[in-house]
Amino acid sequence: MLKDSKFYDVIVLGAGASGLVCAAECARRGRRVVVVDHAAEPGRKVRISGGGRCNVTNRRVQAVDYVCANPHFVKSALSQYPPERFLAFMAGNRLDVQEADHGRLFCMQGAAAVVDALRETAAQSGVHWSLGEEIGEVIRTGDRFHVHCRSSMFSSSSLVVATGGPAWPQIGATDLGHRLARVFGMKVTDLRPGLVPLRASGEQLTFCRELSGISLPVRIRVQHAVLPGDIDDALLFTHRGMSGPAILDASLFGQPGRLPVLEIDFLPEVDLDNILQSASRREIRNALATVLPARLAEMLCVMHGWNGQAGNLFQKTRMAMSHQIHSFPFIPAGTEGFAKAEATLGGVDTEFISSKTMESKVIPGLYFTGEVLDVTGRLGGYNLQWAWSSGFVAGQWA
Ligand code: FDA
């Protein structure tokens, strides 16, 4: 042990979603635990999650809803700590759940209440805190870890890295966990913004800019992506491209190193031919405006030169129209970056981590949980569920 260092059985780096669950579980097993974080308050990202409503989990969590180089990696943790276990935790803390579309479950008392319950549970289990603490060097000598902070030094036999990813850096998110993984000889896959608005260029940028502020329900197919189904959700045009839940979700599914190419259906479930035939005496833009936002109908007509009465359209034009409206191709020029990303794609390579315990296969006693790993969930409560599940699992072993 280094001089003047305080010894604990477990040091948890990061008082976020995953670190709080992990610390409480370790302490419940009788381990002496300290949680170290540079933020003065725990759970800052959880507090802003779901726009403050906190989409805590999802009723339909499956492995296929996670992007990870090893698609089987998440299975063990999700089965050890499925959504029902977190819902039971909420019920035990008198937190109510409200279900939205797509199985999304929100906390009715809000995100701050979730953080309070997690913090209180950890405190009652006997967790010690070192908040507002700048973390410096982290080393291992023999079978001990040593964490050097600005004002203290901690030593332990187990170290849990739960420092999340660099998405949304404005609240103190960093890549500390990835740097530590490299120091300890582990690989980190390419880090990219995920669940992020997409930028457009050229004609598509003009199109999006003109429609900025308009939102509508769409269906998105992502080229070459393995998904349980198409993405059915809302799209929002912005002055730089596209956003909204459907786009954030789709942003996860590019090919390695490439952004996803999207096919957008602006009128899912609507038979366009039927609409045009039943409004045959109307101007095309007015016929389309009965089922689409008027500005979008107008822009499509201007862009493609669709003029005249709906009933006078040639079959060829009707087919071109159907293609543009039901399979609008969107090739993003970029993303809005980590500053607008709700998740980090990539992370600590799961080849180096036991899926059953979250322990490093390289360094005994070293654990990684939550977003710091190369695991990214879809929009809708999947990322917090991964944070709870992986934190719980590490909490049984660290
Ligand atoms: P998390 O980020 O929660 O915690 C990491 C902790 O480490 C933080 O307390 C941080 O201060 C600390 N830390 C980082 N670097 C450090 C350093 N250098 N030194 C010391 N401490 C350091 N997911 C979901 O399922 N439902 C939702 O509704 C939302 N909504 C949402 C909205 C927004 C705006 C964002 C940005 C993200 C979401 N998410 C979400 C994603 C979800 O919040 C995220 O995946 C989890 O919080 C990840 O949990 P972790 O514990 O891994 O990291």
- What is the fold, at CATH topology level, of the domain defined by 198-335? Elongation Factor Tu (Ef-tu); domain 3 (2.40.30)
| 211, 296 contact by CB (below 8 A) | yes
Q: Who contacts 344 (Cβ-Cβ below 8 Å, separation ≥6)?
A: 164, 165, 166, 167, 191, 192, 193, 194, 338, 371, 376
Distances (CA, A) of 334 to 208, 280, 375: 14, 40, 22
Q: Which residue, by CA, sits nearest to atom 24 of ligand 1?
A: 381
Does residue 1 surpass a pLDDT of 60? no
Ligand 1: which of 65, 86, 129, 342 to mutate, judged by most atoms within 8 Å of the beta carbon?
A: 342
pLDDT at residue 237, as a whole number: 98
Bridge partner list, 216: 235
Q: Which residue, by CA, sits nearest to atom 40 of ligand 1?
A: 49
Q: Calculate the dihedral angle through the C-alpha atoms of 245, 247, 253, 256, rounding to the nearest 10 degrees.
A: -130
Ligand 1: which of 383, 386, 389 to mutate, judged by most atoms within 8 Å of the beta carbon?
A: 383
Residues 238 and 197: their CA atoms lie apart, in Å, by 9
| Helices marked H in 81-136 | 83-92, 111-124
Provide CATH code, domain 6-192+343-395: 3.50.50.60
Main-chain dihedrals φ then ψ at residue 371, nearest 5 degrees: -65, -20
Ligand 1, pocket residues at CB < 6 Å: 14-19, 37-39, 44-46, 48-50, 54-55, 135, 162-164, 167-168, 172-174, 176, 342-343, 370-372, 381-384, 387
Residues 257-288: tens digit of each pLDDT: 789 999 999 999 899 988 988 888 899 999 99
Q: Give residue limits of the domains in the chain.
A: 6-192+343-395, 198-335
| 224, 233 contact by CB (below 8 A) | no
Residues 114 and 144: their CA atoms lie apart, in Å, by 33
Residues 372-387: tens digit of each pLDDT: 999 999 999 999 999 9
Helix (H, G, I), strand (E, B) or coil at 199: strand
- What secondary structure letter does DSSP report for 247? H
Residues 119-166: tens digit of each pLDDT: 999 999 999 999 999 999 999 999 999 999 988 999 999 999 999 999
| 264, 331 contact by CB (below 8 A) | no
Q: Average pLDDT for residues 48-76, to the nearest whole number?
A: 97
Q: In this predicted complex, what is the ipTM?
A: 0.99
The rounded percent of the chain whose pLDDT value lies above 90 is 89
Which atom, in ligand 1's list, is nearest to the CA of 133?
20
Which atom, in ligand 1's list, is nearest to the CA of 372?
52
